[in-house]
C-alpha cells in the first residue's frame, strides 16, 4: 500500500470510529511512515517542532491515539513506535527487531500462538492482544558483520 493509500485508509478508519485525524496526529503518522525503524517520541519532536510548537505530552497523546486506532504499534522493549502496515496488521503481532540497525519487521503471529491461546483458554484467560518482540540481527546486518 502506498503512503497516500495508507493516509486515506487512516482517515477512513478514524472517520468510521467517529474520531478525528487531526493535523498533528496525521503528521505524526506520516513521520512514522517515513522512519526506517521504530521512533521514540523525542525522535519525532524536532521534526514536528520545526512546523509547530509541539511538546512531548502532545506527541505522546498523538502516538497513543494512533496505537488505539490500530495505525501504529508500540515496541515495548524500546519505548518506541512504528507505523502499522494497514491491512496486514493483526491482533497478534511478532516484531523481529535488529539490535544493530534498529529495523523492526512486523508479522502476523496468529499461527505461531496456538499453544498460548490453548493454554489461556484452559485457564479461562481472555487474551485481547498479543505482541511478541524478538531481538537479533537482520539479514543485512549479518552479512555486514
pLDDT higher than threshold 60 for residue 107? yes
Residue-wise pLDDT for 55-105, tens only, equals 888 999 999 999 999 899 999 989 999 998 765 565 678 889 999 998 888
Claim to verify: residue 8 and residue 77 sit in the same structural domain: yes
Residue-wise pLDDT for 28-37, tens only, equals 999 999 998 8
For residue 45, what are the domain limits? 3-83
Note the pLDDT of residue 89: 61
Q: What are phi and psi of 95, to 5 degrees?
A: -115, 130
Please say which residue of 58, 83, 108 terminates a domain: 83
Claim to verify: residue 72 and residue 16 sit in the same structural domain: yes
Q: What are phi and psi of 5, to 5 degrees?
A: -65, -40
Can you say how many angstroms the Cα of residue 17 is from the centroid of all Cα atoms in its chain? 19
Note the pLDDT of residue 86: 61
C-alpha cell at 3: 503512503
Claim to verify: residue 32 and residue 79 sit in the same structural domain: yes
C-alpha distances in angstroms, 62 versus 41, 58, 89, 124? 10, 6, 19, 34
Q: What confidence category does residue 132 fall into, taking pLDDT thresholds of 50, 70 and 90? A: confident
C-alpha cell at 143: 552479512
Q: Are 108 and 50 in contact (CB under 8 A)?
A: no
Claim to verify: residue 14 and residue 78 sit in the same structural domain: yes
Q: Which of 20-29, 51-60, 129-138 has the highest mean pLDDT?
A: 20-29
Please say which residue of 83, 100, 124 terminates a domain: 83
Q: Which CATH number goes with the domain that contains 15?
A: 1.10.10.10
Helix boundaries (H) for the chain: 3-16, 23-34, 41-49, 56-68, 114-122, 139-144
How many domains are there within the chain? 2
Claim to verify: residue 97 and residue 138 sit in the same structural domain: yes
Q: What confidence category does residue 113 fall into, taking pLDDT thresholds of 50, 70 and 90? A: confident
Q: What value does the mean pLDDT of the chain take? A: 87
Claim to verify: residue 97 and residue 72 sit in the same structural domain: no
- Residue 137 burial (C-beta neighbours within 10 Å; 0-12, 13-18, 19+): middle
Claim to verify: residue 71 and residue 9 sit in the same structural domain: yes
Amino acid at each position: 500500500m502506498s503512503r497516500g493509500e495508507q493516509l486515506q485508509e487512516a482517515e477512513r478508519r478514524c472517520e468510521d470510529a467517529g474520531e478525528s485525524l487531526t493535523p498533528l496526529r496525521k503528521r505524526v503518522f506520516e513521520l512514522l511512515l517515513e522512519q526506517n525503524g521504530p521512533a521514540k517520541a523525542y525522535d519525532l519532536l524536532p521534526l514536528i517542532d520545526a512546523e509547530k510548537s509541539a511538546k512531548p505530552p502532545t506527541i505522546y497523546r498523538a502516538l497513543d491515539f494512533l496505537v488505539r486506532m490500530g495505525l501504529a504499534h508500540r515496541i515495548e522493549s524500546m519505548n518506541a513506535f512504528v507505523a502499522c502496515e494497514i491491512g496486514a496488521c493483526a491482533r497478534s503481532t511478532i516484531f523481529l527487531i535488529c539490535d544493530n540497525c534498529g529495523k523492526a519487521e512486523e508479522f502476523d503471529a496468529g499461527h505461531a500462538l496456538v499453544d498460548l491461546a490453548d493454554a489461556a483458554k484452559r485457564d479461562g484467560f481472555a487474551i485481547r492482544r498479543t505482541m511478541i518482540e524478538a531481538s537479533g540481527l537482520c539479514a543485512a546486518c549479518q552479512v555486514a558483520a
